[in-house]
Structure 1
Amino acid sequence: MRKLKIIGMPMDLGQMRRGVDMGPSAIRYAGVYERLQNLVDEIIDEGDIPVGRPQVEVDPESNLRNLPLIAEKTELLAEKVDQAISSGSFPLVLGGDHSIAIGTLAGISKHYKNLGVIWYDAHGDLNTSETSPSGNIHGMPLAVSMGIGHELLVNVGNYAPKVKPEHIVLIGARALDDGEKELIKEKGIKVFTMHEIDLMGMAKVMEETIEYLKDKTDGVHLSLDLDGLDPNDAPGVGTPVIGGISYRESHLAMELLAESKLITSAEFVEVNPILDEKNKTATLAVALMGSLLGEKLV
């Protein structure tokens, strides 16, 4: 069994709806420490990285919201994640909006020659300042991590890219912008949309994902956005999209990843308790973390 370090990143700078900065607190309140402590040899909660309450700024050249602040704060997260891996720990990052993945991946990828990424999300997060309808950076972290985007973000951690397109698998996509679709085709990124999940079943999707990544990667990061799940199961997210992955399908996905022993780091993002129902989404996130780390039903 492994050592686990929990790192909170209460950042909501990547989008416009307040509340997601309370995500780490909601996940802790839902009992993440207690749920996971028997699944690992050692668990340490590092607390939250300080983000503060900065004013919203829009970069006049790129139209990106909070550009320098997100670059600065994700650098702090990258350092924390780097330290966790260097100490032999599995980093589990609690978000925060999905822009935090820029920092998570910057801290992780330097430890691997060929890092794989499973992006479990309704969205592709493959926008750039040219293709983004909103200028919200939480719609860009995967593109940034491939080395595509504003240099301040691309160079977090002082190196780029963090991940190769052929080492990425998107699962649950059902809200892709035109620019994202073009980038997926151009780079040959593997995608399982809700159409494939409905058609093939989650077991087959995960089997193919694991097969696709296992021989060409030396570590795999799971970036799970709670809006990948259907809003009926996960209502407390900022950008819900109907017709998503079910509660049980998600548990199965996590259980199969646990059995594969491929996952070397993870983050759970976009929990917004202000939009939630009795902390339902944070409680679901904690349950999925349990399944990912090997919790069994019997």
Structure 2
Amino acid sequence: MVNKSISLIGVPTDIGAGHRGASMGPEALRVANLSARLAKRGLDVVDRGNLQGPLNPWLPPQDGYRHLPEVRAWNEAVHEAVHAELALGRLPIMLGGDHSLAIGSISAVARYCREQRKQLRVLWLDAHADFNTAEVTPSGNIHGMPVACLCGKGPKELVEVGGHVPATTPDVFRQVGIRSVDEAEKRLVRESQVSIFDMRHIDEVGMKRTMEEALAGVDENTHLHISFDVDFLDPTIAPGVGTTVRGGPNYREAQLCMEMIADTGRIGSIDIVELNPAFDKKNQTARLAVDLVESLFGKSTLIR
């Protein structure tokens, strides 16, 4: 059964992103009533407020990385906060913030899984594979690197967050909705053998079969972590992101994806990242994200 004790952790920074604005994501999710909507589902929801960290200096890359010391500081804060909630027996939902913050949250979840002898499965719902390194990144933006860093490919400052190197291995990831991978990044992804269910796969076999494959092997000893980048969704329904990529899942496909995850009863932690209210229309993307997160906790059209 899914944990009914939920902790919301705001992480208001766009430190790893290429556009300003993801720092406003946590507040947009609160304005869209995330806490009240989850409480209505019978969950015990506590909002822990926002973590603190360095301001975004908005500087060019140094040695292939933008804002490395600041990204490290934010991720260490995320790691400690997420691990503390898991240790209390609560289900943490990180309200991002950009996707570089997943280094902190997933390293904390991986640490918790090692302590509890649980199997970790990460569902990475995203338009991007986020497996760049300093050698291949076109931009130096660290929000394009968290999966690589978690798998031990990246700067010492980030691969060592949480103290266990690598924090995770590529086999724990199932990436769904991918449709934008940089040329050199494709080679890294292939070499690491991360499981990717790209949009072509979803087009060919449908979302139902894709999610059955992505969730195969999840059992009662599995901790399921959902890393939900809002740019996973098609920009026609979710314009409020910094890096829109056409051709993502539509509303019904996204709902089915979330409902099938909910059906496992194994969700243990969630990231909601890359929501950028600066690009949104009347907070519609935040409202949609809240709607989908409700579906992760069992909201469906009919009583099944």
Range into which the TM-score falls when normalised by the shorter chain: over 0.9
Q: 2:161 aligns with which of 156, 163, 172?
A: 156
| 1:127 corresponding residue in structure 2 | 132
**Kindly tell me: are residues 109 and 103 of structure 1, through their superposed partners in 2, closer, same or farther at Cα, counting changes over 3 Å?**
same
5+ residue gaps in structure 1? none
1:51 partner amino acid: G
Shift, 1:215, TM fit: 5.0
Residues 1:28 and 2:33 aligned together:
no
* Residue pairs, 1:36-185, within 5 angstroms: 36-58=38-60, 60=62, 62-113=63-114, 114-185=119-190
Q: Aligned with 2:190: secondary structure?
A: helix
Residues 1:253 and 2:257 aligned together:
yes
**Kindly tell me: are residues 64 and 217 of structure 1, through their superposed partners in 2, closer, same or farther at Cα, counting changes over 3 Å?**
farther
1:106-160 Cα deviation digits (max 9, x unpaired): 2211111332111110000000000100000000001101111111010111222
Shift, 1:16, TM fit: 2.6
Residues 1:237 and 2:241 aligned together:
yes
Shift, 1:59, TM fit: 5.4
Moved over 6 A (4+): none
Structure 2 length-normalised TM: 0.94
Do the aligned residues in 2 keep the contact of 1:115 with 1:218 (CA within 8 Å)? Answer: yes
1:66-120 Cα deviation digits (max 9, x unpaired): 0001101110011000110000000111111101101111221111133211111
- Greater shift after overlay, 136-145 or 33-42? 33-42
5+ residue gaps in structure 2? none
Residues 1:13 and 2:15 aligned together:
yes
- Greater shift after overlay, 128-137 or 254-263? 254-263
1:170-211 Cα deviation digits (max 9, x unpaired): 100110012221122112211111001111110111111111
Residues 1:218 and 2:222 aligned together:
yes
Do the aligned residues in 2 keep the contact of 1:116 with 1:217 (CA within 8 Å)? Answer: no
Do the aligned residues in 2 keep the contact of 1:116 with 1:219 (CA within 8 Å)? Answer: yes
2:104 partner amino acid: G
Structure 1 length-normalised TM: 0.95
Do the aligned residues in 2 keep the contact of 1:251 with 1:291 (CA within 8 Å)? Answer: yes
Shift, 1:162, TM fit: 2.0
1:94 partner amino acid: L
Do the aligned residues in 1 keep the contact of 2:127 with 2:231 (CA within 8 Å)? Answer: yes
Q: Aligned with 2:113: secondary structure?
A: coil
Shift, 1:34, TM fit: 1.0
Identity among equivalent positions (%) equals 41
Cα RMSD, aligned residues only: 1.5
Q: Aligned with 1:65: secondary structure?
A: coil
Aligned length: 296
Do the aligned residues in 1 keep the contact of 2:121 with 2:224 (CA within 8 Å)? Answer: yes
Aligned mates of 1:46, 1:137 — CA distance in 2: 26
Aligned mates of 1:59, 1:203 — CA distance in 2: 41
Do the aligned residues in 1 keep the contact of 2:14 with 2:56 (CA within 8 Å)? Answer: no
1:220 partner amino acid: L
2:102 partner amino acid: A
Do the aligned residues in 2 keep the contact of 1:127 with 1:139 (CA within 8 Å)? Answer: yes
Q: Aligned with 1:133: secondary structure?
A: coil
Aligned mates of 2:84, 2:128 — CA distance in 1: 29
